[in-house]
Structure 1
Amino acid sequence: MTRLVRIGTFSAMTRLSVKALRLYDEVGLLRPAKVDPSSGYRLYALTQAGQAETIRRLRALDMPIEDIKRVLAASPAQVPGLLEAHRPRLRVERDRHDHMLDAITRMIDNEERLMDYTITVETLPSQTVASLRRRTDLAGVGVTIAEGFGTLVGAMTMAGRQPVAAPFLVFHDVIDADNAGDVEICIPVGAGAALAGPAGVRRVDAVTAAVTTHRGRHDEIAPAYHALTAWFTEQGYEVGGPPRETYLNDPAVTAEADLLTQVAWPMA
């Protein structure tokens, strides 16, 4: 007879959190061997520990859940190729971390960099936007945003609509190493648009905001937020809503050092 254990015990055995195990059940990555019909308790077989360890290690390498599913379903001959396909992502992430460490070094050596931002008070006009709201964590935010913009562009193309202004994000929550949150992906489309699929169309109200512009890589944008926070404190204003990032030029044709991102934080 296969021995079954409750989710808490299985969590301790496999070093996967109960929250992670519940998620993996919901998305079909690691189903419990049995669910007690009277209590709803998830029960796991001890023989599932090996699969859980594979999942834990691949997630530690930031492999997406759908890719892990493919690895687990693959034949032994297919697995090396699937793992090798993930290697370029690891190199990109390593290079990103190296660049961030270099940026932190420069910031520590030259702290006045935080004071380079000019802050103005502007009224951002109301706009009709194609909109998609997604919940994500820090590790997945880049992919979530890229996929969201892809979905919106696809829906707009199907509807024969073109952007009428620069795309932007609204960060409804703080997304950091410890917290997931909601981000809204927006492309201005003008009045009268109707889109199919998951994309929606809504009206964004006009708002008065403290505004600054960041030049350079997006993963170095934190000082812009620091400057805005300091400005709010110094001027005695209160934050009146979630911040917005508007992308003023196209990363596909613009050097990273020349990318421009407008950061706008509504004022109460």
Structure 2
Amino acid sequence: MLKIGEFSRLTRVSVRMLHYYDDIGLLKPVQTDKFTGYRLYSVSQVAALQKIVMLRDLNFQIAEIRKALGYWSDETLREELNRKIQEKQNHIIKEQQQIQNLRSAIESINKKQLDLHYRIIIHEVPSRHVISYRKRIPDYSCEKELWNELYCFIKENHIEISRQNDNNITIFHENKESDSGVDAEVCLLVKEERTSSGPFRYRIVDGAETMACMMVRGSYVNLDKAYQAFLGWLEENPQYQWYGASRQICHRDPENEEKEEDYLTEIQIPVKLRNG
């Protein structure tokens, strides 16, 4: 179970909006503590919230969202999205990207490929102060070895790290054609910086104004499908280009979830608009 603040951070939906969705009956918490009044949510509600956010971002009104949620089907979505496209065609240039999003959603429905877990949202991501450990590993499955070494260093040196759910970042740096293995860097958010020691460095992970973000639920094998979905998104949105290293953040992992189906991983890929 997640407190409302934790649920807000991992879904990028403000606490104020979650309160609002609760008050109007659009998304009720799984449980409300009768003593403290705290709202508690489950990971399984992420998909339901993503439906609401998707329709909200497509400029649906509350009544329209409620109707769509009540009759959620490919046919209903197709009809409603086509109606919105007609509306957007009368708007000014800044609405053109919204129209493309609607068309992409309709195309996904037609191909039976609409998967809310791989929906890409563009966010601004802030810079982070971290302690990091970077090393070339044989393949992606060896990432855990880097985390073990970093945690051992932190424990031996009594380093205080942030305890928030998104306190971890794995960065996969670009490999040259001649390189073998994977150039990976694992990072943990710290509360204060100290002097770097050997391969363990204190540094700032740069932020990005436009980061393509995906929430991936379930086993880590789903990550490959998510990256494939991102490549498809790039083809459908040629105005964007991928630059820089991709990142992964584990919001829910084996440390706090017993079942693989409840794991929640965020993929962040920096993108920018092409010139011209």
Q: TM-score, normalised to structure 2's length?
A: 0.50
- The structure 2 residue matched to 1:263, chosen from 262, 267, 270, is 267
- Partners in 2 of 1:146 and 1:113 — Cα distance? 31
Report if aligned partners of 1:129, 1:201 keep a CA contact under 8 Å in 2: yes
Query: Larger Cα Rg: Structure 1 or Structure 2?
Result: 1
**Deviations 1:114-156, CA, capped at 9 Å, x for gaps:** 6752211111110111111111223xx323x222112211222
Q: How does 1:116-127 map to 2 (within 5 A)?
A: 116-127=117-128
d(CA) in 1 for partners of 2:128, 2:185: 14
Inter-partner Cα distance in structure 1 for 2:191 and 2:267: 22
Residue number among 156, 159, 167 corresponding to 2:157 in the alignment: 159
2:129 equivalent in structure 1: 128
SS in 2 for 1:218: coil
Cα gap change, 1:188 to 1:116, in 2 (>3 Å): closer
Shift, 1:185, TM fit:
1.1
Please tell me whether the aligned partners of residues 216 and 265 of structure 2 are also in contact (alpha carbons under 8 angstroms). yes
Contact kept in structure 2, 1:114 and 1:224, CA below 8 Å: no
Q: How does 1:66-215 map to 2 (within 5 A)?
A: 112=113, 116-138=117-139, 141-143=140-142, 145-164=143-162, 165-173=166-174, 180-207=181-208, 208-215=210-217
TM-score in terms of structure 1 length = 0.52
* 2:235 aligned partner, one-letter code: T
Q: Which amino acid aligns with 2:229?
A: A
How far apart in 2 are the matches of 1:135 and 1:111? 39
5+ residue gaps, structure 2, are: 1-110
Conservation of the 8 A alpha-carbon contact between 1:114 and 1:223: no
CA distance in 2, matches of 1:111, 1:251: 31
Partner Cα distance (1:219, 1:173) in 2: 21
Counting only pairs closer than 5 Å after superposition, residues 11-50 of structure 1 correspond to structure 2 as none
Work out the CA distance in 2 between the residues paired with 1:196 and 1:155: 10
CA contact (8 A) 1:129 1:188 kept: yes
1:189/1:116 CA distance change after superposition, 3 Å:
closer
CA distance in structure 2 between the partners assigned to 1:174 and 1:224 by the alignment? 20
How far has the Cα of 1:166 moved from its partner? 2.3
Residue 268 of structure 2 aligns to which amino acid in structure 1?
A
* Deviations 1:178-200 (CA, angstroms, capped at 9, x unpaired): 95221111111134234545311
The 8 Å contact of residues 131 and 186 in structure 1, kept in 2 or not, is answered as yes
Of all paired residues, the percent bearing the same amino acid is 27
Q: Work out the CA distance in 2 between the residues paired with 1:163 and 1:230.
A: 37
Contact 2:193-2:202 at 8 Å conserved across structures: no
Q: CA deviation at 1:111?
A: 6.7
Find out whether 1:251 has 2:248 as its counterpart.
no
Change (3 A) 1:111 1:163: farther
Matched residue SS, 1:228: helix
- The residue type equivalent to 1:229 in the other structure is L
Judged with a 3 Å threshold, the aligned counterparts in structure 2 of structure 1 residues 260 and 241 are, in CA distance, closer, same or farther, namely same
Inter-CA distance 116–252: structure 2 relative to 1 (3 Å threshold) = closer
Kindly tell me: are residues 136 and 192 of structure 1, through their superposed partners in 2, closer, same or farther at Cα, counting changes over 3 Å? closer
Asked if structure 2 preserves the Cα contact closer than 8 Å seen for 1:173 and 1:183, the reply is no
Q: How many residues align?
A: 154
Residue type of the alignment partner of 1:235: N
| Secondary structure of residue in 2 paired with 1:222 | helix
